[in-house]
Amino acid sequence: MDMPIVKGLEKYAKENNIRFHMPGHKGRNSLLEWGKLIPQIDVTEVDGTDNLHNPTSMILESQDLAAKTFGAKKTFYSINGTTGGIYAAITSVCKPGDRILIQRNCHKSVYNATILGRLEPVYVYPEYDEDNNIVLGINPLDIQNMLEKYNDIKAIVITSPSYYGICSNIKEIAKIVHRFGKILIVDEAHGSHLKFSKRLPESALEGGADIVIQSTHKTLPAFTQASMVHVGTDRIDTEKLKERMTLYQTTSPSYILMASIDMARAYIEKKGTSRLDLIINAIEENIFKLKDLDGVRIFDNNSIKSNNYSFDLTKVLISLKGINITGRRLEKILRQNYKIQLEMSDLYYGIALTSVLDEPKYIEKLTNAIADIYNKRDYRLDIIPTIDVKYIKTETVMPLYKAYYKEKKLLNLNKCNGKIAGDFIIPYPPGIPLVSPGERINSDIIEYIKVLKENNINILGIQDESKIKIIE
């Protein structure tokens, strides 16, 4: 019997790789034997269970426990992942036509929320660390400048931590946002664990954010698609947020996912601090030794030269740029030769995501693998370009939500000067849209794209034969 998805997943499981990737359970049981339990608990809203859209018993109790554990005034479970939570959060505080300030390199779901809510986004750009080839976070003063320029902004959306573990100064940003009477929403998808260790950056709820959305599955032992939406202040209409949560979630929410959130909350409450200490100690005792190798760069808090940002040590960022091995090549070598799978890689970095379900021995094996790669000179085959990262400010011709519904066609890049973009154009690194739908393409953008392509930088939004979508 053909079952290609099952076959593919079984094949990966049998590889028995060390998983430095999401989800945070790392393929392991924690408090529960899930394999035995899952078929029995996959139920619907029958007598004795509850209803996520109007919880009155066990789901309500679980959400209240989560609010207490994470320090929220109210918590909602999002079974449509952080994506659904972001949709609900943004549309609960904004109405169609409102202006919203968003971090230019935010997750695609934030952009999608502006389409669904028919909002008009303006952008605040993150800072870029040229020495370390990494995007940092948002300077609080840039938020202040934007709020002074646009007094009709209704909400601000910040991503912290980033995929790379960079955390913005949420406390300072929250002070500024609240001084202007606005709402601060933080996409903390990669930071569910932060509250449970003083050795990590302060969580967004501790920093004073109004709404915080977390992907419980990314850094805690919940199943993929399990997330939470936390209300942090009395400035939020929780009934309206509850309505929006209903709008953006299935009417058949999975009890398996909800149970995994319940278990992940119990696990982090019981073992979080000790497990995080164990993992951070292992990183400092093993990974940090690699700093002694000439040409190897390990990113940490000492790499950051600004008080505006801090770093989540549970993200291991390894760059072998100094010995001419790209991040992409490093990821491939680790998978093929050492049975270690990273979360992701870019031109410069390989990124290993650790969680409370990792073990020190896995981190030691990663360290030994990097040292071995370092010593095997035949791996050093890449020529790594240094790209001048540019934030080219664009002209918005039409709102993003209007551009989304317009008819589009493919046009050769050389003929696009003055045309209106119909899709995002995003180079990796650094993962910040050069152009968003509804913005005008100019000659500077075209020339920069050519430079990126000449240096083999991955660019989303560029079709075969250098064609891009434009609005007719």
Within a domain: residue 20? no
Domain of 437, in residue numbers: 400-471
pLDDT digits (tens, 9 = 90+) for 425-451: 998 777 889 999 999 999 999 998 998
Domain CATH code at residue 85: 3.40.640.10
Within a domain: residue 246? yes
When pLDDT is cut at 50, 70 and 90, the band that residue 453 belongs to is: confident
**Mean pLDDT on 232-237:** 98
**Mean pLDDT on 215-229:** 97
User: Is the domain of 111 the same as that of 128?
Assistant: yes
Q: Which of 246, 268, 290 marks a domain boundary?
A: 268
Residue 142 confidence (pLDDT) above 80: yes
pLDDT digits (tens, 9 = 90+) for 318-328: 999 999 998 98
The per-residue pLDDT for 385 is 79
Within a domain: residue 161? yes
**Mean pLDDT on 96-124:** 95
The reported pTM is: 0.95
User: Is the domain of 230 the same as that of 303?
Assistant: no
Comparing 376 with 310, which gets the higher pLDDT?
Answer: 310
The per-residue pLDDT for 387 is 77
Within a domain: residue 52? yes
User: Is the domain of 289 the same as that of 238?
Assistant: no
**Mean pLDDT on 93-105:** 96
The per-residue pLDDT for 35 is 84
Within a domain: residue 59? yes
User: Is the domain of 180 the same as that of 85?
Assistant: yes
How many domains is the chain built from?
3
What region does 420 belong to: left with phi over 0, alpha with psi -120 to 50, or beta?
beta
pLDDT digits (tens, 9 = 90+) for 360-387: 999 999 999 999 999 987 777 777 877 7
Domain CATH code at residue 297: 3.90.1150.10
Within a domain: residue 19? no
User: Is the domain of 242 the same as that of 130?
Assistant: yes
The per-residue pLDDT for 100 is 98
User: Is the domain of 39 the same as that of 149?
Assistant: yes
User: Is the domain of 188 the same as that of 246?
Assistant: yes
**Mean pLDDT on 248-276:** 96
Within a domain: residue 2? no
The per-residue pLDDT for 91 is 98
User: Is the domain of 129 the same as that of 253?
Assistant: yes
Residue 455 confidence (pLDDT) above 80: no
**Mean pLDDT on 398-405:** 93
User: Is the domain of 55 the same as that of 162?
Assistant: yes
Residue 243 confidence (pLDDT) above 90: yes
Domain CATH code at residue 426: 3.90.100.10
When pLDDT is cut at 50, 70 and 90, the band that residue 343 belongs to is: very high
User: Is the domain of 154 the same as that of 173?
Assistant: yes
pLDDT digits (tens, 9 = 90+) for 190-217: 999 999 999 999 999 999 999 999 999 9
Within a domain: residue 394? no
